[in-house]
Amino acid sequence: MIKLLIVDDSPLMRRLLTDLFAASGEFQVELARDGAEAMAKLHAFTPQVITLDINMPGMDGLACLDRIMLERPTPVVMVSALTAQGADATLEAMALGAVDFVAKPSGAISLAIDDLAPALIEKVRAAASARIPRTLRLAERIRLRSAPRPAPVRRIAPPLPPRGTALPGEGLVLVGCSTGGPPALEALLTALPGDFPWPIVIAQHMPASFTGALAQRLDRICALTISEVSRAVPLEPGHAYIGRGDADLVIARRAAGLVAMAAPSSADYHWHPSVDRLVASAMLHVGPERLIGVLMTGMGADGAETMRQLQTAGGRTIAEAEESAIVWGMPGALVKLGGATLITPLDRIAADLLALMGKW
């Protein structure tokens, strides 16, 4: 049985979530009405995973999460509203150490909870076995105190390491991630220079109301220019493009060159934006020798098969190593298929990507 702590100030939400998880037969459930009660049960109940509401009176979800990660780091799934404010708070939560999030239904929650149930159970089950990096906020944990988080500052990327001259001409870096993806993307993209020679196109599994906020957040702290793809946009070096949530992201060719565009999500793919669909579309318009695939943390296997095909055809692929991945599902699937050119911890992916660019 998975020990689950549900933290929510709404009695209705606590009851609905309790019934949902109890019915699955996989969870031993405890409840907390607010952040203070959650902190007491964090030590008394020692949960394996926590669902945490963001908006609560007194100690809100972010303050509670902050203390959880300092006192007893535990996988946390945030329960967030599908609003611009909810998206910003959720991304802040993931920066603080939350593993994943679920969107709280709008309208009549009691009617929508059954539709939410399969994805919610899947995410919480995956989070229970997620890896919390031992180095996460280690200095703060040692001091056992919380300090105010600094305002985001655009980081100056390190200079390019010595390497050969990259092959001239167009090419693409294709990045896929899911659970744990936002902080992984931050680690990758902040380490790349603003004059990175190929466009970077990213499929991160997220709802549409979150991907724009994610792109804006990353754009503030990266040397690269980062934007959300909601219409057809020409692909340029020094830019990273994040697919709009609840749609798919595809590559096409126009007279002036390559473009990225949002396409209606296809029922042929389970997750959206689909990494498999992104990679398959890129291979229709760009030679494999001009493509590099990067598959990072996430549950499931989205992207693994198409990146294996890319590598077999002569492309290069990087799979995040198990030691750093929050959930090693997607990159692990690529490794198991024999499709990873390199298997790399998160903090070295940018360097390996630059090294691959230098070889071409």
Positions annotated as catalytic residues are 178, 205, 302
Distance between CA atoms of residues 84 and 190, nearest Å: 23
Beta strands in the chain (DSSP E): 2-7, 27-32, 49-53, 76-81, 100-104, 172-177, 200-204, 225-229, 233-234, 239-243, 247-254, 257-264, 291-295, 316-320, 342-344
Sheet holding 49-53, edge to edge: 27-32, 2-7, 49-53, 76-81, 100-104
Structure tokens at 122: 């899947």
Place of tokens 């089950």: 125
Please spell the DSSP secondary structure of 118-156, one letter per residue.
HHHHHHHHHHHT----TTTTHHHHHHT---PPPPP-PPP
| 45 three-class SS | coil
Structure tokens at 185: 């993307």
Nearest C-alpha neighbor of 128 from the set 28, 230, 275? 28
Please spell the DSSP secondary structure of 170-210, one letter per residue.
--EEEEEE-TTHHHHHHHHHTTS-TT-SS-EEEEE---HHH
